[in-house]
């Protein structure tokens, strides 16, 4: 199991605490320091069953600079979104947990974290 975190994020710290309390083995990826590649983002999105705009943090300053809120949310623009997430990883929603069974979840709630523990 791997969890993508930003150590400054309270939701990330909460997810780590829950994983620790459950005695779960996991690997931490500080995705701001080790950004995911386009291929990794595509793989995680497939596992999540989501589109790139579903995991984009549109309230970040860089999102405003890019005009992200105005970008079309359609298949033809998917590559543009993924490229932006890869180039500016601060735009990626967190934490994201990828489980060994192939599942993945945006783990912003305790329930979401627990969903990959079963």
Residue 82: what pLDDT?
98
Output the six-digit token pair for 108: 């912003």
Query: Using one digit for the tens of pLDDT, what is the confidence trace for 2-35?
Result: 999 999 999 999 999 999 999 999 999 999 999 9
Quote the Cα angle for 109-112-79, to 5°: 100
Q: Reply yes or no on whether 12 is catalytic.
A: no
Output the six-digit token pair for 38: 């386009």
Q: Please tell me the number of Cα atoms within 13 Å of 20 on its side-chain side.
A: 7
Tokens 């080790």 sit at which residue?
34
Which listed residue (3, 7, 8, 9) is catalytic?
9
Quick one: DSSP state of residue 112?
H
Query: Using one digit for the tens of pLDDT, what is the confidence trace for 50-102?
Result: 999 999 999 999 999 999 999 999 999 999 999 999 999 999 999 999 999 99
> How many percent of the chain have pLDDT more than 90?
97
Q: Strand, coil or helix: what is 111?
A: helix
Residue 118: what pLDDT?
73
């Amino acid at each position: 199991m791997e969890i993508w975190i930003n150590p400054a994020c309270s939701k990330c710290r909460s997810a780590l605490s829950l994983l620790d309390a459950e005695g779960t083995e996991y690997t931490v990826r500080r995705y701001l320091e080790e950004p995911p590649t386009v291929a990794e983002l595509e793989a995680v999105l497939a596992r999540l069953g989501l589109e790139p705009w579903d995991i984009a943090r549109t309230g970040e300053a860089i999102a405003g600079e890019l005009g992200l809120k105005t970008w079309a949310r359609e298949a033809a623009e998917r590559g543009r979104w993924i490229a932006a997430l890869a180039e500016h990883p601060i735009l990626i929603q967190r934490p994201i947990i990828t489980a060994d069974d192939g599942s993945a979840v945006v783990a912003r709630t305790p329930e979401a974290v627990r969903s990959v523990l079963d």
